[in-house]
């Protein structure tokens, strides 16, 4: 709690006293930066306790700004378990957002498509998830100030936010699909046998993020919604090697649609 308060105090000193909406941008998904009215860009290295990303293509800035009337705090670059961070470190920025008044959280990520109806570049809203990370950000003494020891996870993704995103995607003529996201540790991509397994257990897509943040958000009773961009098709019977460059290129192409969807939805809240 002390660490969370310290980071919050540092942001308050920089003039960030309150925000309404939190946003976490996934790998290669940065077009939101062109849409938000940016007031401040704060490198994570200037915020005590914030981890500094180890992956070169992940930037590390906390962005404070506006979308219409809403004040937003946006993470340009997030932290992953495969980088070696503990899961509670990964969710620290979200807990700081909570102390700054953030009421709703939007997350994006790049994911592999397990469901054979999903094609590269598709946007998929996460309806539910499976935690296959070897851990949980709530491990250890419960932070009673933030939430209960045994948080409910019957609806981890807020039904109202899901409805609002779906409505807006209709108005924008985007073909928003929906599915179950499985979070794996990484950093390697999966074997054919693992993709088969993921399909059998009910996953529609797979990635290496988002679930720790969603668990922490639910713990704090912060409604959240998440959208995946399908960057590769994971058909175990026809699996081609995937290059990181290709994943980034597909994410980049879908980024405009996703950013518009988040921007318009947040503006209309
Ligand atoms: N597996 C895990 N994470 C991913 C994938 C994948 O196939 N694609 C993008 N992120």
| CB distance 187 to 56 below 8 Å | no
Q: Is 101 left (phi over 0), alpha (psi -120 to 50) or beta?
A: left
Q: Is the pLDDT reported for residue 169 higher than 70?
A: yes
Mean pLDDT of 194-211: 98
Does the pLDDT of residue 242 top 90, yes or no? no
- Ligand 1 pocket, residue 230 CB under 6 Å: no
Cβ pair 49, 92 in contact under 8 A: yes
178 vs 30, higher pLDDT: 178
For residue 132, pLDDT over 80 is answered with yes
- Across the chain, mean pLDDT equals 95
- Cβ atoms within 10 Å, residue 148: 11
Residue 58 confidence (pLDDT) above 80: no
pLDDT at 240: 87
Report the pLDDT averaged over residues 120-131. 97
Residue 79 in this model has a pLDDT that exceeds 70:
yes
Which pLDDT value is given to residue 28? 78
pLDDT 10s digits, 23-37: 999 987 889 999 999
**Structural domains in the chain, sorted by start:** 2-268 (3.40.50.1580)
Cα 88 to middle of ligand 1, angstroms? 22
93 close to ligand 1 (CB < 6 Angstrom):
no
Ligand 1 midpoint to CA 212 (Å): 16
Q: What is the pLDDT of residue 54?
A: 65
Whole-angstrom distance between the N-terminal and C-terminal Cα of the chain?
30
Label residue 236 by pLDDT band (50, 70, 90).
Answer: very high
pLDDT at residue 57 is higher than 60 = no
Pocket test for ligand 1, best of 55, 112, 251 (most atoms within 8 A of CB): 112
């Amino acid at each position: 709690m002390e660490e969370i308060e310290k980071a919050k105090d540092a942001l308050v000193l920089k003039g960030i006293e309150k925000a309404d909406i939190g946003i976490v941008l996934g790998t290669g998904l940065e077009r939101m930066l062109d849409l938000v009215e940016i007031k401040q860009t704060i490198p994570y290295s200037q915020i005590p306790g914030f981890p500094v990303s180890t992956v070169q293509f992940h930037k590390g800035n906390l962005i404070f700004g506006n979308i219409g009337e809403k004040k937003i705090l946006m993470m340009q670059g997030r932290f992953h378990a495969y980088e070696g961070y503990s899961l509670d470190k990964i969710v620290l920025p979200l807990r700081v957002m909570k102390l700054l008044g953030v009421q709703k959280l939007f997350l994006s990520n790049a994911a592999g498509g397990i469901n054979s109806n999903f094609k590269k570049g598709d946007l998929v809203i996460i309806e539910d998830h499976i935690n296959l990370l070897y851990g949980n950000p709530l491990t250890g003494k419960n932070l009673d100030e933030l939430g209960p020891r045994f948080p409910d996870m019957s609806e981890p993704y807020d039904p109202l936010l899901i409805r609002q995103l779906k409505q807006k995607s209709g108005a924008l003529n985007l073909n928003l699909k929906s599915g179950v996201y499985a979070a794996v540790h990484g950093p390697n991509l999966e074997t054919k046998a693992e993709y088969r397994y993921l399909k059998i257990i009910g996953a529609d897509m797979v990635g290496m993020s988002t679930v720790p943040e969603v668990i922490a958000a639910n713990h704090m009773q912060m409604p959240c919604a998440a959208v995946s961009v399908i960057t590769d098709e994971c058909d175990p019977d026809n699996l081609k090697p995937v290059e990181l460059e290709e994943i980034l290129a597909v994410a980049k192409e879908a980024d405009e649609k996703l950013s518009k969807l988040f921007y318009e939805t947040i503006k209309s809240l």
